[in-house]
Chains A and B, each alone.
Chain A
Amino acid sequence: MKERIIETIRLQKKYVTDTVETTALAGVDIQICSGEFVAIMGPSGCGKSTLLNILGMLDTPTAGSLKFMGTEIASATEHQRANLRKENLGFIFQSFNLIDELTVQENVELPLFYQGLPKAEIKKRVDAALERVGIAHRRSHFPQQLSGGQQQRVAIARAVVGRPGLILADEPTGNLDSVHGREVMTLLSELNEDGATIVMVTHSPSDAEYAHRTINLLDGQVITERIHATSAAIAL
């Protein structure tokens, strides 16, 4: 049996303002194992992004349990979460979120800098990551000089360069046309085949098809889970 990377039990998230209390997650129980490619789907406002943010330790739950590699982290401090994030997670965003002032290469180097790796190691890993996503020839370009698909490939290189245990992707094709979208999804699939665990939030059923399993959310709750036939062998 594969190692369980993430496990949530009755995970809740509520946003409270002066007059309104909004429940974004109303008791979510999910497990994600190493090597899995999981898609999270659901209509706008169902809580997918909130769930992804909590799984990515960018946000904290209001109640419930969140275990990462078996350790309870629901009430971890910002500092602890930052360290876990740095060492174990890679992020891919719908709007790429590359830093405009940095070149392709420098953007990809960024997580390794924060990990404090030696220069030579950084160079080796960045070269490999850029080669892997097929953007090495554009390493000195700035993000604005690239197409959307190329920018997302840079973002993917940045997400994998630190060799994270888990890659979290928030609508990775949301800002791309269908051709570039397919390219990105193929790349993610390949990464998954190479061993990366991926959790992806998406609106697109066709993108979800690339995953082994789809979790459907509605009003902050898991309503269905579907294991894709082609990948049944890997699931659970």
Chain B
Amino acid sequence: MFKIYFLTAWRSLLRNKSYSILNVAGLTLGITCSILLFLVIKYELSYDTFHSKADKIYRATTVSNYREGEARSSAAHYPLAELLRSNNNLGFANLTQVHGEEGGQVNILGNDGNAIKRFKEDAHIGFVEPEFFDIFDFETGANDPAQSLSEPNNVILTESIAQKYFEGENPVGRLIKFNNKLTLKVTGVIPDLPSNTDLPFSLFVSYKSFVDYSPYGDAKSWSSLSSTHHLYLVLPEGMTDKRATADLNALIKNHIPDKGANLPQETYALQPLSDLHFDAVLGNYSNRTVAREVIWSMAFVGLFLVIVACINFVNLATAQAIKRAREVGVRKVMGSSQLQLMLQFLGETFLITLTATLLSVVLTELVLPYLNELLELEIAFSILQDPALLFFMVAQVLLVTLFAGLYPALIMARFQPIAALKSRINTQKVAGLSMRSALVVLQFTICQVLIICTILVNEQMEFFKSKSLGFNKDAVVTVLLPTGEGKKLMPLRQELANHPAVRKVSLSSAPPSANITFTGNFKFDNSSEDVPFHANYKIADENYIDLYDMKLLAGRNYKESDSVAYVINETMRRKLGIESPSEAINKTIALGNGEVKGYIIGVVEDFHQNPLRDPIDPSILLANPNNYWFLSAKIDMNNKQEALQHLEKVYNKAYPDDVFDYEFLDESIARFYQDEARQNKLFKIFSIIAIFIGCLGLYGLVAFMAAQRTKEVGIRKVLGATMFNITVLFSKEFVKLVLIAFILAVPIAYYLMNKWLQDFTYRITLDYWPFILAGVVTLIIAIITMSSQAIKASLTNPVVSLKSE
């Protein structure tokens, strides 16, 4: 029985080739997109879920409670680990502290202790305790971290890093130097970590080495926090995170010093490991977070693409039902029941869906490498080794079969046998004309919402690129300097500037917009109380304001000879309640606990220190040569190579043990928005595909209607209708549907985009033109799709078309 159903289905697909191709192509595209999105979502959700204690691991994060609200930090105070270990009775002893750095200078030392190879390493370096590997289930191979990380100045490398540094030689026992500071002995090699972890270290340095590496290494102070220093702990069986947080805060209460009424009181909040990948504010060591809303939008886009493809199927199948009417009649006369007929038609849908799914597997295989490249992911596609994917695909085949096949099957199985046999069933009589219209509207609503969202996301991206940041970021090269060599800096600056292609050089703690920020408390206008907000310090030399074209609104820039002079920004002025820029001049500011007192000598226009998601911070610009880690050079872009060569030459002379590495500031600022840019690309691609699938369906539907109305077209032509008249005749109905879809799409897209844009402090205003553009684009595409068929119908010789019935 099934064989005959299968055969009928197969032959029927072959006989109606164009119909089958349209259906299979639409479904293949829809299903491929859904598989790709499923893989991306699954990958993003898989971060650090493979640890056996995953649901018990928490990160201790701090919350600073300001009067104006709270500020969260991923950091834990340095002495916390020691405190928890010594209070064993609380049950928090199963913990590990981590100091993570992204990249650094790595020199491979020869037997004589001299560097034989130098690397500017991009990989993540973690200072970890041996307990790290008890808490997190990373494979350690034959290595025992308890042994190899127990002593200071030990390091474990991952296999690929070991290969990179030692090229097949045995690395164990060899020495490397990190950031020209720490000499480390390689004590082990472990397999590479999986790509889906937010603890993506390639070098594991024993935490005991941290004492020699950082001034905070043996910090006993509860007053400083660094977002590079995390503490992870495993909650004991049966303890809730709520109780643990309460216990933790009770314990630290006596240790965190009271900073006075104006300064925030710090408390701890335990953050589940499963949150790390989705919290953009606190972030993680991989510097890669995905908002849960983005995961949801990807899921919805995937769902919509499949729905659009299913709608095609339903529309084409119900339109085609007439062609199958006689067969239904014959089968009914031969004794088939309605159920048997429905099963037969569902079987055909199953066959089409299965074919489309198999093609999708091939297409996914082909496309995935490009998607991985685009999203900078390492997603693998192996159905048989991935039960979740297999389940998803089987479930999808069944659901698509039901969703796409049930309605047409029901329509066809209900045909009355006599009417079916006498060809008395026509398009109008097939229930579903209004249903088809509703589905076309739904399809085009989805398409237009996607187009509007894509245009607006794109516009916001362009806004990021083009918005004035309050400083000039063009033609600026930045170089991170090796730390701790303050006295070398001034002659270096002089030498760097000594080339015609290098226009200006400045030294600072960071460029105006950067990931690195320094904040602190301060007192204002001789007050003994701290100001109730922190200032963002830009520690920079006197060339900084000039190099970055910052605009002075009052006063002057500081000079090398000024003892303690500050330049503030407009936001700072406003927050301090100073009426005008000129009134700010000569007011006093005392940084920290009042030790460094000085005068405001200038006010600059606001500049963005942070990505445009965030507001402008109140800032203080000040000079302090001990805190210059960045070199900024404004170069002549026409002589770019010469300028870079000069910078490199001078740098290498000053720092022979380090590798010269530079970055253009506009590129590093663009990276602030790389997550959004990636999402933008993804949505752009998928909305184009959605429209394409929608048009495939429309094309099929119009082609079918044209065939159905051959006789009508013939009569109209005999009576004098032109090609234009015929095109209008065909297009009228669908244009109406596209317009209805537009009316529905506008409020939906407006709501969604307004919500999305709320996350950005600096954002585009929602203009009417992207909406109009989306409507017009859809309409034009729809009309082009329809016209081709209408023109074909109108070119048919009326004599032929009139004979067709």
Q: Which of A59, A85, A101, A102 contacts B335 (CB 8 A)?
A: A85
Q: Answer whether residue A91 sits at the interface, using C-beta atoms and an 8 A cutoff.
A: yes
Residues of chain A contacted by B333 (CB below 8 angstroms): 56, 58, 85, 91, 97
Contact B330 A97 (CB under 8 A): yes
Least Cβ–Cβ distance between A98 and chain B, in angstroms? 7
> Are the C-beta atoms of B335 and A86 separated by less than 8 Å?
yes
B7–A102 contact, CB under 8 A?
Answer: yes
CA distance A59 to B331 in the complex (A): 15
Question: Cβ of A56: which chain B residues have Cβ within 8 Å of it?
Answer: 333
Task: Considering the complex, give the chain A residue whose CB is closest to the CB of B15.
Answer: A101
Is B340 a contact partner of A102 (Cβ separation < 8 A)? no
- CB of A86 within 8 A of CB of B12, answer no
A114 touching B12 by the CB < 8 A rule? no
Complex Cα distance, B339 from A79, in Å, reads 11
Q: Mark B307-337, 1 if CB is under 8 A from A, else 0.
A: 0000000000000000000110111111111
Q: When A114-B334, A114-B335 are in contact, do A59 and B418 touch as well, CB less than 8 Å?
A: yes
Q: How far is the CA of A48 from the CA of B12 in the complex (A)?
A: 34
Q: Does B719 contact A (CB under 8 A)?
A: no
Q: In whole Å, how far is A228's beta carbon from the nearest beta carbon of chain B?
A: 29
A99 in the interface, Cβ–Cβ < 8 Å? Answer: yes
CB pair B329 A111 closer than 8 Å: no
CA gap between A97 and B420 in the complex, in Å: 11
Whether A97 contacts B421 in the complex (CB less than 8 A), given A106-B7, A109-B4, A113-B4, comes out as yes
Whether A114 and B340, one on each chain, are in contact in the complex, defined by CB atoms closer than 8 angstroms, is yes
Most buried by B among A56, A102, A115: A102
In the bound complex, do residue B7 and residue A53 qualify as a contact, i.e. CB atoms below 8 Å apart? no
Number of interface residues of B (CB under 8 A): 23
Digitize A20-50: 1 where CB-to-B-CB distance is under 8 Å, 0 elsewhere.
Answer: 0000000000000000000000000000000
List residues 1-56 of chain B with CB under 8 A from any CB of chain A: 1, 4, 7-8, 11-12, 15
Number of A-B contacts defined by CB within 8 Å: 62
Q: Which residues of A contact B152 (CB under 8 A)?
A: none
Q: How many residues of A are counted as interface, with CB atoms below 8 angstroms from the partner's CB atoms? A: 27
Chain B residues with CB under 8 Å of A101's CB are 7-8, 11-12, 15, 327
Which residues on B sit within 8 Å (CB–CB) of A87? 335
Is chain B's binding surface mostly helix, strand, loop or mixed?
A: helix
Whether a CB of chain A sits under 8 angstroms from the CB of B191 is: no
Chain A CB within 10 A, most for which of B12, B334, B418: B334
Q: Name the distance in Å between A93's Cβ and chain B's nearest Cβ.
A: 7
Measured in the bound complex, the distance between the Cα atoms of B331 and A114 in whole Å is 9
Classify the interface of chain A: helix, strand, loop or mixed: helix
State whether A110 touches B329 (Cβ < 8 A). no
Are B12 and A82 within 8 A (Cβ)? no
Instruction: Return A152 CB to nearest CB of chain B, in Å.
Output: 14
Q: Is the beta-carbon distance between B335 and A111 smaller than 8 angstroms?
A: yes
A82 to B333, CA, bound (A): 8
Which A residues are CB-close (under 8 A) to B331? 99, 110, 114
Name the interface residues of A93-107: CB closer than 8 Å to any CB of B: 93, 97-102, 106
Which of chain A's residues have a CB closer than 8 A to the CB of B335? 82-83, 85-87, 111, 114-115
Per the bound structure, the CA–CA distance linking A107 and B729 in Å amounts to 41
Closest A residue to B339 by CB, please name it: A79
Within 8 A of B (CB), among A53-69: 53, 56, 58-59
A99 and B327 contact, Cβ closer than 8 Å, known pairs A82-B337, A114-B336, A114-B340? yes
B330 engages A98 (CB within 8 Å): yes
**What's the nearest-Cβ distance from chain A to residue B95, in Å?**
70
Contacts of A99 in B (CB 8 A): 8, 327, 330-331
Contact residues in B for A93 (Cβ distance below 8 Å) = 421
Q: Which residues of B contact A58 (CB under 8 A)?
A: 332-333, 417-418
Mind listing 6 A-B residue pairs with CB under 8 Å? A59-B418, A82-B332, A85-B335, A113-B4, A114-B340, A158-B334
Known: A99-B8, A113-B1, A113-B4. 16 other contacts (CB 8 A): A58-B332, A78-B338, A82-B332, A82-B335, A82-B336, A85-B335, A91-B334, A97-B330, A97-B333, A98-B330, A99-B327, A101-B15, A102-B4, A106-B4, A110-B330, A158-B334
